[in-house]
Structure 1
Amino acid sequence: MFQRLGVWVYRLRFWVIAAWLVAAVLSVPALLQVADVLKVGGFSHEGLEAAQVRATLEEELNAPPVTVVINFHSDILTADDPAFERQVREALSGLERMPEVVKPIGYHTYAPTQVSRDKHTAFEVIGLRVNPEESQDFMPELEQRLKPTDLEMHVGGAPAFYADIERTSQSDLQRAELIAFPVALLVLVFVFGSVVGAAIPVAVGGFSVVVVLALVSLIGRVTDLSIFALNVATMLGLGLAVDYALFLTSRFREELETRPVGDAVEQTVGRAGRAVFFSGLTVLIGLGGLVTFEFMFLRSIGIVGAIVVFVSLLAALTLLPAILGVVGHRIDTFRPPLSLRGTGSFWAPLARWVMAHPLRTLVPTLLLLLLLGLPFANVRLSSPDPSILPEGLDSRVAFDQLKREFSPGNLAPILVTVRSHGPITSPNNLEALYALSREVRRQPGVVGVASIVDLDSRLTLDQYKLMYRNRDDVPDLYAEAALLASTSEHVTVMQVNTTYIWNDPRSGEIVERLRATAMPGGLSLQVGGGTAEVNDVVSEMYGEFPRALILIVLATYLVLFAMLGSVLLPLKAILMNTLSILASYGALVW
């Protein structure tokens, strides 16, 4: 089959090249819009408890789905100074005309925890009624509407974080492309021993990446794809295209020594092309396993990875042989003074020595791989935070400032929703909430609880019962504001602040202890917030991983069995890949 393909490609080589040129040109409009259709986030789904808490807050308490945090700081003024408050209001005044903006939760209203210990820093929380996956698109307008004052101002929160990730990803991608293509060309010139021979894999890789990104842009209009898949598409596309081109081009040069160009192309595709096809198929299976996960960001990498493999294989089996057929003996044109070509005197003796001393090679190599992979046994999966961004970006500056001036747990508090069958402010339910709050406060690592029964440490349970006896006529303005913001007829939310940042394992332990809390009859409890999201995502990934792994191993074994016709060789290949993957991940966290 592959030999017939080689014959067909050689006969129609000019048409094949023309078809790829047309495809590349037609891909440009979609390529230019690829970043606009990709989504950020994708680390959750509606089946997770934390996601259900988020939905409850939006539906029952009318909470905005997205919040932006704006930090204000002054070396001279304090947050309780009227001049400080006046400048904060002036800075935010332009946001009132944005229909997506919800009234800010200000430190000067009923959230004193939004003021630092030295009172020189305070933050405002701005709600946005927009789709969380599109919230970063509103950041340029929001930032433009903020008015400068004498206060130092920084914008943070998830939308700002995602916007900076998007901008940084695009910038990194462009920089990577500018560096990767020339470097790849230089390395290939050194390996192939000719400029023309080296330019062919890079050209094939370039065509592949252009078409891949265009397909990603088109598919992203039909289904959600993560922005993280953009770098995968470019780097994996270039890597696979060059890798496959190396196999085929090297084989072509060998065949060209004893055959005419047409026969060399036929034999190249018939032999090396078959190996490349099955190699790509195993990569496709591995990436396809990611499609089985519920999370959009993993599923996106699987989908985009499958597109990359398909296009790379198509280019390697059609475009590359067509170019080789046109270039022919000119493939060795423009030889550099130094190259690795002709260094078979090193590789062949090395291979013979390894075959002659298998145990002396296997044992130290195996021990090295195991040693490199050991740290992976203690790997801890978590979610990214703004610390992954360059230090100069505004969302990173805001994050570092909040972390420095406030308790880390204030950045993303644990949210506990309590639901009742009857009115949540009934005396019995208030008694249960009061007991729950005091039990939560006793948890190690908890530094504060905010709820309708935690307004003032001096208030007793009986006083809370008296205050909320008629929820439509709460005598205290502060209590009334807290009730309206955090409580509906049957649901209330309790905010738990800890000493740990949201992706700290100790914060995750608090979440699990809260979820194990027994509630009296008629009341149910759910735990959400940033830490709970991390716990749920990691737990779900570990739960789905065995199924995906079994699928990948079985499918890979069957493909290799069909290719090699051996029972043991596929097992050896799977084992060696497992060891190399473990060693690679272990080296990353060493």
Structure 2
Amino acid sequence: MLKRLGRAVTARPWSALLFVVVFLVNALVVGAGVTDRLHNGGTADPGSESARAAVLLEDSFPASSPNLVLQVSAKAGGSVDTPETAQAGARLGERLAFEPDVVGVTSYWQTGLEGLRSADRGTALILARIEGDENRAKEVFDRLAPRYRGSPTGLEQLEIRLGGSVAVRDEMQATIADDLARAELIALPITLLILILVFRGLVAALLPLAVGICAILGTNAALRVITDFTEVSVFAQNLTTALGLGLAIDYALLIVRRFREERERGLEVRAAVAATLDTAGRAVLFSALTVAVSLSAMLVFPLYFLRSFAYAGISVVLIAAAAALILLPALLTLLGGRIDALKIRMPGRAARAARADRPTGMGWHRTATLVMRRAPLFALGITALLLFAGLPFLRVQFAAADDRQLPTGSESRVVQQSIRDGFTASATGVIDVVVHSEATSATAAADPGREALGRFAAELSALPGVTEVSTPLGDYRSGAATGASSPADSVRTGDGLGHLSVVPAAGRGDVSQANQDLVGEIRRAGAEFPGLRPVVGGQAASLVDSKHAIGVRLLPAGALIVGATLLLVFLLTGSLLIPLQAVLLNALSLTAMFGVVVWVFQDGNLSGLLGFTPTGAVETTLPVLMFCVAFGLSMDYGVFLLSRVKEEYGRGHDPRKAVADGIRHTGGLITAAALILSVVLVAIGTSRITNTKMLGLGVALAVLVDATVVRCLLVPAVMALGGHATWWAPAPLKRFQERFGLREEPLAPAGGAEADRPDDGPGLLGDPDHGPGPVLAAKES
């Protein structure tokens, strides 16, 4: 396939460029409106009990789950119960109640509920729900916010702040957009500078950017098409930018480096391009497949937040590889020697170049040789070090992202924090329970359904950490009915359903571990009332169900990654042991990332330096996302190294020399690629959103550890310990790999059976040893 592709591209490079231009124009047109079709959510399991509860509440009790909070205080200070403030607060609640798409307005001044007034009487709350999905809610919030924030006209004596889940999402999305724009301004100039230094010329340095543009624009078009069939998270675009630029640089580094090597060996341009595709092109193809497989594991999970990263990741990987295998060969064919135009002269490089007898990369060769001489020491020492770095992950705690992801002074975070600190009960962390019973609206006190509902509510109100339970029958506290009722009780029934609100104690946090444990207790209590068929929902219940959905699918996702990686690496190397080594060493390289994530972001170490608020937990979906992305990038570098080592081994070199030569050719390339990708990831890690900061800095650490400690130290040590046995496979599997594997074509072998084979000549396109074949020779003439 690559031979045919190389023949077509080198024969008609202008046609290949025209194809790419047409592709980019279409990608621009198709992907132009992709952002407007993306969603801000997807962290809940749509098939869970909490999701069923959300549907029932939305259909029958749309006002039951407020997503908008107005925190109201007197502008001059003082109590919210003063006549002037109370009158203004009542007018504010009435004004909000008449807004389109706003339902269920519940005001302190309307109901007198103490839970809606702070303990110091200085602040009160108005709760409401904006109808519609997340995108519709955002549109309504954007319309309402300027009219209610601060001191609105006619209510100048009040000071109003906006909070609730819709305000948190809106502020978080705006902050991420600003942070990504700033990250691009930081990363792109530094990346271009490093590329110029690595490629030693401006023309060559621009080639990876061309591949990156193809990958990013093509993926935006792919996401736009995917939104016609399923929901896609807006955060998937973040991965598109990082991976698109990172992989483009990786692939361009590998191909341009190999093209220069082939030219230095005396091949003319088209023959050098063909040899590059036949070697480095194969590595790119294998790398793309392994990274895509790692990212495809996220399709196993039902949360569309994770699935969205799979859609974006697979698209950007495959498009980046296609651009590297089509666009780069066409440009190299046209540029030829002009690829080194606008060359940058580095200090001291002329003196080093004068030593023509010294091959490049000898520093990496010496390092690998030293490591292999003391292979047991390096293998055990580095393994122990990485395992020690990963120990903090054993105490990881999982939670959902909340307002504390935002910067300290963010308006919605200030509102939510004041609710946690100053109110006697959680106004926004209510756990909802929907019961299926026609008897919920019965008036007969002796009705069996009514009696069961009362006993159920009394049992829930007696649970530790529960302040009160509001039901269609009135309120319950400490295991008994209070005798109090409110007009809101009459709207807690409908369509044969009843709605109960379990209010947790204050200061616990909406999705705290205590509230998650309370969800389990409510569900166990509900099992004792099968006639009611209670369904538990709310933010804490959604988190519990999401954690369960992820947990039960970790094994299938891991099996997909491991199985596909083993197969692909076997097809590349023809060995049984090397694929096992690759999987184990890749997993080992990620231990430091997970350990540091817990030590820093969960435990709060370095929180002052990095500028975030530790919450004592890690967001549930992030470890899965970080593992898939970091594992794929690790395999990316692993394939670069293994493909070159396999090529050297195919020349007839002994295993240790093959490893040392492979590292000599790829050590600098892998390190440069990792450094550039780390710059992009660290720039993303400067975000003010804690999860984005965790993702960027965590994966950057994993990339650097893998490219340096693992690839250049641990891999040669482990392969040296295996020796020739590392390359062993049963004869039937060897024959299978030789027939179906995308293997490197061995160059002129140093000896062995390959040396005794008859010389078939250069072939139609030629090869690195014979020069151009008749087709390319005719083209040249």
Pair in the same fold by TM > 0.5? yes
Structure 2 CA distance for aligned equivalents of residues 232 and 7 of structure 1:
34
Which whole-Å deviations, capped at 9, do the CAs of 1:317-350 have from their partners, x for residues lacking one?
1111222222222223321435999862321211
Summarize the Cα distance change of 1:80–1:288 in structure 2 as closer, same or farther, 3 Å threshold: same
Structure 1 CA distance for aligned equivalents of residues 326 and 441 of structure 2:
68
Is 2:384 the partner of 1:367? yes
Equivalent residue for 1:2? 2
Decide which of 288, 312, 315 is 2:296's aligned counterpart: 288
Summarize the Cα distance change of 1:338–1:244 in structure 2 as closer, same or farther, 3 Å threshold: farther
Equivalent residue for 2:766? none
Which range moves more in the overlay, 27-36 or 523-532?
Answer: 27-36
Indicate conservation of the 8 Å contact 1:190/1:338, yes or no: no
Equivalent residue for 1:60? 60
Equivalent residue for 2:485? 479
Summarize the Cα distance change of 1:83–1:338 in structure 2 as closer, same or farther, 3 Å threshold: farther
Summarize the Cα distance change of 1:394–1:339 in structure 2 as closer, same or farther, 3 Å threshold: farther
Give the drift of 1:563. 1.8
Which range moves more in the overlay, 362-371 or 270-279?
Answer: 362-371
Is 2:577 the partner of 1:577? no
Letter of the 2:208 counterpart = P
Structure 2 CA distance for aligned equivalents of residues 56 and 220 of structure 1:
26
Letter of the 2:251 counterpart = Y
Indicate conservation of the 8 Å contact 1:248/1:268, yes or no: yes
Is 2:403 the partner of 1:386? yes
Indicate conservation of the 8 Å contact 1:561/1:570, yes or no: yes
Letter of the 1:451 counterpart = T
Which whole-Å deviations, capped at 9, do the CAs of 1:200-253 have from their partners, x for residues lacking one?
112321232122223223332432100110101111111111111111111111
Give the drift of 1:260. 1.2
Summarize the Cα distance change of 1:520–1:400 in structure 2 as closer, same or farther, 3 Å threshold: closer
Which secondary structure state, in structure 2, belongs to the residue aligned with residue 69 of structure 1? Answer: strand
Summarize the Cα distance change of 1:409–1:581 in structure 2 as closer, same or farther, 3 Å threshold: farther
Give the drift of 1:553. 1.3
Equivalent residue for 1:544? 553
Letter of the 1:268 counterpart = T
Indicate conservation of the 8 Å contact 1:73/1:121, yes or no: yes
Indicate conservation of the 8 Å contact 1:204/1:241, yes or no: yes
Structure 2 CA distance for aligned equivalents of residues 183 and 8 of structure 1:
36
Structure 1 CA distance for aligned equivalents of residues 89 and 477 of structure 2:
29
Is 2:319 the partner of 1:318? no
Indicate conservation of the 8 Å contact 1:441/1:448, yes or no: yes
Summarize the Cα distance change of 1:460–1:557 in structure 2 as closer, same or farther, 3 Å threshold: closer
Is 2:77 the partner of 1:76? yes
Equivalent residue for 2:461? 441
Is 2:240 the partner of 1:249? no
Which range moves more in the overlay, 122-131 or 12-21?
Answer: 12-21
Structure 1 CA distance for aligned equivalents of residues 581 and 281 of structure 2:
22
Summarize the Cα distance change of 1:503–1:277 in structure 2 as closer, same or farther, 3 Å threshold: same
Equivalent residue for 1:302? 310
Number of aligned residue pairs: give it: 576
Q: How does 1:266-285 map to 2 (within 5 A)?
A: 266-285=274-293
Is 2:457 the partner of 1:451? no
Indicate conservation of the 8 Å contact 1:64/1:129, yes or no: no
Equivalent residue for 1:261? 269
Structure 2 CA distance for aligned equivalents of residues 521 and 103 of structure 1:
30
Summarize the Cα distance change of 1:122–1:327 in structure 2 as closer, same or farther, 3 Å threshold: same
Equivalent residue for 2:117? 115
Is 2:166 the partner of 1:165? no
Runs (5+) with no aligned partner, structure 2: 354-359, 600-781
Structure 2 CA distance for aligned equivalents of residues 268 and 228 of structure 1:
36
Structure 2 CA distance for aligned equivalents of residues 458 and 496 of structure 1:
12
Indicate conservation of the 8 Å contact 2:10/2:329, yes or no: yes
Summarize the Cα distance change of 1:498–1:416 in structure 2 as closer, same or farther, 3 Å threshold: farther
Indicate conservation of the 8 Å contact 1:408/1:501, yes or no: no
Which range moves more in the overlay, 290-299 or 209-218?
Answer: 209-218
Decide which of 519, 532, 543 is 1:534's aligned counterpart: 543
Letter of the 1:296 counterpart = Y
Q: How does 1:403-552 map to 2 (within 5 A)?
A: 403-407=420-424, 409-425=426-442, 426-427=444-445, 428-453=448-473, 455=475, 479=485, 481-488=487-494, 489-499=496-506, 500-517=508-525, 518-520=527-529, 522-552=531-561
Which secondary structure state, in structure 2, belongs to the residue aligned with residue 448 of structure 1? Answer: strand
Give the drift of 1:133. 4.6
Indicate conservation of the 8 Å contact 1:107/1:123, yes or no: yes
Summarize the Cα distance change of 1:60–1:579 in structure 2 as closer, same or farther, 3 Å threshold: same
Summarize the Cα distance change of 1:338–1:498 in structure 2 as closer, same or farther, 3 Å threshold: farther
Indicate conservation of the 8 Å contact 1:194/1:332, yes or no: yes
Equivalent residue for 2:573? 564
Which range moves more in the overlay, 83-92 or 32-41?
Answer: 83-92
Give the drift of 1:453. 5.0
Structure 2 CA distance for aligned equivalents of residues 339 and 121 of structure 1:
69
Indicate conservation of the 8 Å contact 1:282/1:556, yes or no: yes
Equivalent residue for 1:396? 413
Structure 2 CA distance for aligned equivalents of residues 281 and 181 of structure 1:
27
Which secondary structure state, in structure 2, belongs to the residue aligned with residue 516 of structure 1? Answer: helix
Which whole-Å deviations, capped at 9, do the CAs of 1:290-342 have from their partners, x for residues lacking one?
11211111111111111111111111111112222222222233214359998
Give the drift of 1:429. 4.0
Indicate conservation of the 8 Å contact 1:289/1:549, yes or no: yes
% identity of equivalent residues: 32
Decide which of 598, 605, 612 is 1:589's aligned counterpart: 598
Equivalent residue for 2:214? 207
Is 2:161 the partner of 1:131? no
Letter of the 1:418 counterpart = V
Equivalent residue for 1:473? none
Equivalent residue for 2:41? 41
Runs (5+) with no aligned partner, structure 1: 465-477
Letter of the 1:4 counterpart = R
* Aligned residues: CA RMSD: 2.6
Structure 2 CA distance for aligned equivalents of residues 289 and 423 of structure 1:
45
Which secondary structure state, in structure 1, belongs to the residue aligned with residue 536 of structure 2? Answer: strand
Which whole-Å deviations, capped at 9, do the CAs of 1:441-497 have from their partners, x for residues lacking one?
333333333334554869975x95xxxxxxxxxxxxx73513223233542313222
Indicate conservation of the 8 Å contact 1:417/1:525, yes or no: yes
Which range moves more in the overlay, 301-310 or 136-145?
Answer: 136-145
Which secondary structure state, in structure 2, belongs to the residue aligned with residue 524 of structure 1? Answer: coil
Summarize the Cα distance change of 1:180–1:583 in structure 2 as closer, same or farther, 3 Å threshold: same
Give the drift of 1:8. 1.8
Equivalent residue for 2:246? 239
Give the drift of 1:273. 0.6
Indicate conservation of the 8 Å contact 1:413/1:498, yes or no: no
Q: TM-score, length-normalised on structure 1?
A: 0.91
Which secondary structure state, in structure 1, belongs to the residue aligned with residue 510 of structure 2? Answer: coil
Equivalent residue for 1:101? 102
Indicate conservation of the 8 Å contact 2:43/2:303, yes or no: yes
Summarize the Cα distance change of 1:585–1:192 in structure 2 as closer, same or farther, 3 Å threshold: same
Give the drift of 1:538. 0.5
Give the drift of 1:88. 3.0
